[in-house]
A = this chain, B = another copy of it.
Amino acid sequence: MTDIRDHFWCVIPAGGAGTRLWPLSRAGAPKFLHDLLGTGRTLIQSTVDRLEPLAGERLVVVTGARHVDAVAEQVPQVARERLLAEPSPRDSMAAIGWAAAVIERQDPGALIGSFAADHVVGEEERFRSLVEQAVAVAQEGYLVTLGIEPTYPATGFGYIREGDALDVPGAPEARAVVEFVEKPDVRTAESYLATGEFRWNAGMFVVKAGVLLDLLAQWHPDLAAGLRRIAADPALLEQEWETLERIAIDHAVAEPAAAAGRVAVVRCDVPWDDIGDFHSLATLLATAAAVESAEIGAAGSAGANGADDSTGANGARHDGRGDEHALHTVGTADVVSVDSTGIVASRTDRLVSIIGMDDVVVVDTPDALLVTTRGRAQHVKNVVDTLKASGRTDLT
């Protein structure tokens, strides 16, 4: 009997413009292509780094045609023929389903795990062991989701309501899924957290490629058939792609399959973030700096984030320790700050000077500058919408 792990493939959908991270993230250079956390690796590179120990060379990236070259350059570990270029965006079911159909033809017994290119995951060893639990459950025919342990009553994610434990050997964290629920309001989210039965839906699925497509065929037979035709004859891509239904994988498969008792969840208790906006990026940077600071030791950590060299100016100086009361930087920003907290992201070599700003967000790029606060981070999208509406797509 072959090891099922030799048939585990990772699919990395690399889509989404990351509009709320504008002007850092652009339609032409979306979030996943950026090193937002200053680790030296872009988000898609970190994603591949995280999954390679599980899948080896069995990595497939699905991305927009315009990003294929940038992705190929950033993650040479992914074979060129496993870099699938979408002619146009047709939502997550088409993207993941296409990869599933391609993998199914090459490896009929394949299991796939789908993980977005622009998420941040901590405790990677633990994460991989949880994926292996999901693989064990998927081997039993389930569509398995990794459900994130909620840390606050988020309104920006869908939730997964879990049921009884599943008795799958090697998968102690596996539970049945009762239902997927839409993004709640904050009151509802609080009630979810109070029950202890809910996990965030982070869009991470592990499933047999054939099971995914067969489930899809039950509720969206045309879409499943179209994807399998494209996989069988890549020459059909351009022609078939535009006819595919635009639908998210959650609605197309996860929700009806849950109702049919075909979905399981593996509780995922590692740190996770989708870096939805500059507020969460600032939190991540503060956390990372705090960890770094703790590792270095509190005494030696001043200036660890490079954000504050304002010694003497107005007599004020931050101690540079990673916390919410410091000014954090993305990239090689050249910053002089006085009495300020928040985040500065720079893609220029200009000096950025900030005086007396609390929770500020400053994003400095060659053609656009953003100044806002962490509290207004969600509204960055409105500026992008305004620019699009006025035809200034060169800036989006």
Residues of A near any B CB (own CB < 8 A): 23, 309-314, 336, 338-339, 350-357, 360, 362, 364-373, 375-376, 379-380, 382-383, 385-387, 389-390, 392, 395
B383 engages A371 (CB within 8 Å): no
Given A336-B387, A387-B336, A389-B312, verify A355-B382 contact (CB < 8 Å): yes
A312 engages B372 (CB within 8 Å): no
B368 engages A383 (CB within 8 Å): no
Tell me which residues across on chain B come within 8 A of A379, comparing CB atoms: 313-314, 338, 355-356
Given A312-B386, A312-B389, A336-B387, verify A371-B376 contact (CB < 8 Å): no
Tell me which residues across on chain B come within 8 A of A309, comparing CB atoms: 386, 390
A366 engages B353 (CB within 8 Å): no
A313 engages B357 (CB within 8 Å): no
Contact of A355 among B312, B364, B380 (CB under 8 A): B380
A369 engages B350 (CB within 8 Å): yes
Tell me which residues across on chain B come within 8 A of A387, comparing CB atoms: 336, 351
> How long is the Cα–Cα vector from A391 to B294 in the complex, in angstroms?
33
Given A314-B379, A379-B314, A379-B338, verify A369-B385 contact (CB < 8 Å): no
B338 engages A354 (CB within 8 Å): no
Given A351-B369, A351-B395, verify A314-B382 contact (CB < 8 Å): yes
Contact of A382 among B313, B350, B364, B392 (CB under 8 A): B313
| A376 (CB) vs chain B CBs: closest residue | B356
B354 engages A372 (CB within 8 Å): yes
Contact of A386 among B313, B368, B389 (CB under 8 A): B313
Tell me which residues across on chain B come within 8 A of A395, comparing CB atoms: 351
Query: Given A314-B379, A352-B368, A354-B370, 10 more contacts at CB 8 Å?
Result: A23-B353, A309-B390, A313-B383, A336-B386, A350-B366, A351-B387, A352-B371, A353-B383, A356-B375, A357-B371
Q: List 27 A-B contacts (CB under 8 A).
A: A23-B353, A310-B386, A313-B383, A313-B385, A314-B382, A336-B383, A336-B387, A338-B379, A350-B366, A351-B395, A352-B368, A352-B371, A353-B369, A353-B370, A353-B371, A353-B372, A353-B383, A354-B370, A354-B371, A355-B380, A355-B382, A355-B383, A356-B376, A356-B379, A357-B372, A362-B369, A371-B371
Given A310-B386, A312-B389, verify A357-B338 contact (CB < 8 Å): no
Tell me which residues across on chain B come within 8 A of A310, comparing CB atoms: 383, 386
| A314 (CB) vs chain B CBs: closest residue | B382
B338 engages A350 (CB within 8 Å): no
> How long is the Cα–Cα vector from A49 to B362 in the complex, in angstroms?
40
Shortest C-beta distance, A170 to chain B (Å), equals 49
Tell me which residues across on chain B come within 8 A of A376, comparing CB atoms: 339, 355-356
Shortest C-beta distance, A241 to chain B (Å), equals 33
Tell me which residues across on chain B come within 8 A of A336, comparing CB atoms: 383, 386-387
Given A356-B376, A371-B353, verify A383-B312 contact (CB < 8 Å): no
B382 engages A338 (CB within 8 Å): yes
| A390 (CB) vs chain B CBs: closest residue | B309
Tell me which residues across on chain B come within 8 A of A356, comparing CB atoms: 372-373, 375-376, 379
B382 engages A367 (CB within 8 Å): no
B351 engages A367 (CB within 8 Å): yes
Interface centre among A350, A362, A366, A369 (most CB of B within 10 A): A369
A312 engages B371 (CB within 8 Å): no
B355 engages A362 (CB within 8 Å): no
B353 engages A368 (CB within 8 Å): yes
